[in-house]
Structure 1
Amino acid sequence: MDIDLPDVLAEVTAQFARYEEALVSNDVTVLDQLFHEDARTLRYGIAENLYGYTEVTAFRAARSPAGLMRRTARTLITTYGRDAAVASTLFYRDSAPGKVGRQMQTWVRFVGGWRIVAAHVSIIDEPKSLTTGF
């Protein structure tokens, strides 16, 4: 299997950037477009477990647009073949000092383009030191 083919990595990176821009600007239309429209799509959030595209879009529609700005760090996108990818990032909000958010998304290429099929968001106390195994 080919990992991180340059053209595929560029495509997913562009979609990840599109997602991030839509998130901080509360562009619900784009956010909804980027999730796969399927009952098996899921998003585990900070305070919610969303099963299916309908629950994900309902959450987005009801979410307050206040306080969405954030900065990301240590973003890692890895592609597997031409049709699958995982995107991971840390995020920080000025409204939550001492905390670090973690976000992971599984992306799959469908006929209509790249879509998120699974996502997980969590927040923890910021570790004293950050280390990686790679």
Structure 2
Amino acid sequence: MLINDPAVVAEVRAAFEAYEAALMANDLEALDAFFWADGRTVRYGPGQNLYGIEEIRAFRLARVGGSPQRTLDHTVITTFGRDYATANTEFQRAGADRPGRQSQTWVRLEAGWRVVAAHISLLSEGA
């Protein structure tokens, strides 16, 4: 199996960076398009477990002001073959005292690269 083909890594990195830009701009339409529009999509976040695209959409619509602004560090994208990838990053929210982590599983579908699973967490004290 081909791991980290440079062309595929570049594709996933571009999708990941576009997702991050949409997140920081609170572009709900773009954010929605980055996720697999399916009931099997999962997003775990601080304070919520969301199952299926409808729950993810509802969460985003209800979140006043969108995601807190943040900077990223230590982003690692790993691709497996041409159609499967993971993206992991650390982040620091503006004004927050503890960092967070984000993991995404990306799959190339007919519509392009889509997040099929995501996990966002904040480090606890002493971690």
3-state SS of 1:91 partner: strand
Letter in 2 for 1:86: T
Indicate if the aligned counterparts of 2:43 and 2:117 stay in contact, CA closer than 8 A: yes
Report the CA distance shift for 1:55/1:67 in structure 2 as closer, same or farther (over 3 A): closer
Q: What does residue range 11-30 of structure 1 map to in structure 2 within 5 Å?
A: 11-30=11-30
Aligned-pair CA distance for 1:64: 1.5
Correspondence 1:107 to 2:106 = yes
Post-superposition Cα deviations, 1:20-51, rounded to whole Å, max 9, x if no partner, equal: 00111100111000000000000001110000
Structure 2: how far apart are the matches of 1:26 and 1:126?
A: 29
Structure 2: how far apart are the matches of 1:3 and 1:127?
A: 35
Aligned-pair CA distance for 1:127: 6.4
Letter in 2 for 1:68: P
Indicate if the aligned counterparts of 2:26 and 2:67 stay in contact, CA closer than 8 A: no
Q: Calculate percent identity across the aligned residue pairs.
A: 51
3-state SS of 1:12 partner: helix
Q: What does residue range 29-108 of structure 1 map to in structure 2 within 5 Å?
A: 29-65=29-65, 68-97=68-97, 99-108=98-107
Indicate if the aligned counterparts of 2:23 and 2:67 stay in contact, CA closer than 8 A: no
Structure 2: how far apart are the matches of 1:37 and 1:67?
A: 21
TM (norm. structure 1) is 0.90
Question: Which blocks of at least 5 consecutive residues in structure 2 are unaligned?
Answer: none
Structure 1: how far apart are the matches of 2:110 and 2:126?
A: 41
Structure 2: how far apart are the matches of 1:67 and 1:2?
A: 35
Indicate if the aligned counterparts of 2:70 and 2:91 stay in contact, CA closer than 8 A: yes
After the TM superposition, which segments of 4 or more aligned residues of structure 1 sit over 3 Å from their partners? 125-128
Question: Which blocks of at least 5 consecutive residues in structure 1 are unaligned?
Answer: 129-134
Indicate if the aligned counterparts of 1:23 and 1:68 stay in contact, CA closer than 8 A: no
Aligned-pair CA distance for 1:125: 3.5
Post-superposition Cα deviations, 1:44-77, rounded to whole Å, max 9, x if no partner, equal: 0111000001001111111121662100000000
CA RMSD of aligned residues (A): 1.4
Post-superposition Cα deviations, 1:77-96, rounded to whole Å, max 9, x if no partner, equal: 00000000000000001221
Structure 1: how far apart are the matches of 2:20 and 2:66?
A: 15
Letter in 2 for 1:82: R
